[in-house]
Amino acid sequence: MSVATPYFDQLFADNDDPWAFRQRWYERRKRALTLAMLTRPRYASIFEPGCANGELSAELAPRCDRLLCCDTASAAVALARGRLLGFAHAQVQQSRLPEQWPQGQFELIVLSELCYYLDADDLGALIDRALTSLAPNGQVLACHWRPPIDGCPQTAEQVHALLHERLAMPLVARHHEHDFLLDLWSRDATSVATLEGLR
């Protein structure tokens, strides 16, 4: 069974940064690596589900023309909206996924520290919705903590294996460490060097 919304509401009940995204070097470094994995300097549209308090969102915003974020916890949504106040092209919704997947098409979907909270059926449904809304040149980036998390129905390895199988797209960039997995799939597998005429 997927982790229910009250779990996330409780995390944010008395804490505006329950995972210490702002304080921990681990988190700041992981965000930098996540952004460095992106093979394009800018995207027309990015969707970031499970945005939490918007720390990664604020770094994705300068890289796109339109940013849509969502979270299931109302407090997280309020915090992310505050974090993104300076970006007129950014929007934050309260949504429970996969059921409330947004309308529209996205060039990049960022699944950061989200998918192991979903059981296999819900993750499969989320992947199906992602594929339906992904632009013809679209990309999916996934980043997940490797150690098991109490109460989570899946591990990072299970999540990334299912993503690789169900997305059925070329894996164009990969960075795996002891602590986390970071993968980027793309419908267009052309390398950055080739795009810039270097090959």
CA distances from 148 to 2, 27, 175 (A): 15, 18, 19
CA 91 centroid distance within chain:
15
3-state SS assignment for residue 136: strand
Closest to 80 in 3D by CA, of 89, 88, 71: 71
In angstroms, the first-to-last Cα distance of the chain is: 48
pTM listed for this prediction: 0.95
Top-tier CATH class for 5-195: alpha beta
Pairwise CA distance, residues 186 & 170, whole Å: 6
Q: What is the pLDDT along the chain (199 residues), one digit of tens a residue?
A: 888 788 777 877 888 877 778 889 999 999 999 999 999 999 999 999 999 999 999 999 999 999 999 999 999 999 999 999 999 999 999 999 999 999 999 999 999 999 999 999 999 999 999 999 999 999 999 999 999 888 899 999 999 999 999 999 999 999 999 999 999 999 998 899 988 888 7
Pairwise CA distance, residues 159 & 69, whole Å: 21
Q: Are strands 43-49 and 106-112 parallel, antiparallel or unpaired?
A: parallel
3-state SS assignment for residue 46: strand
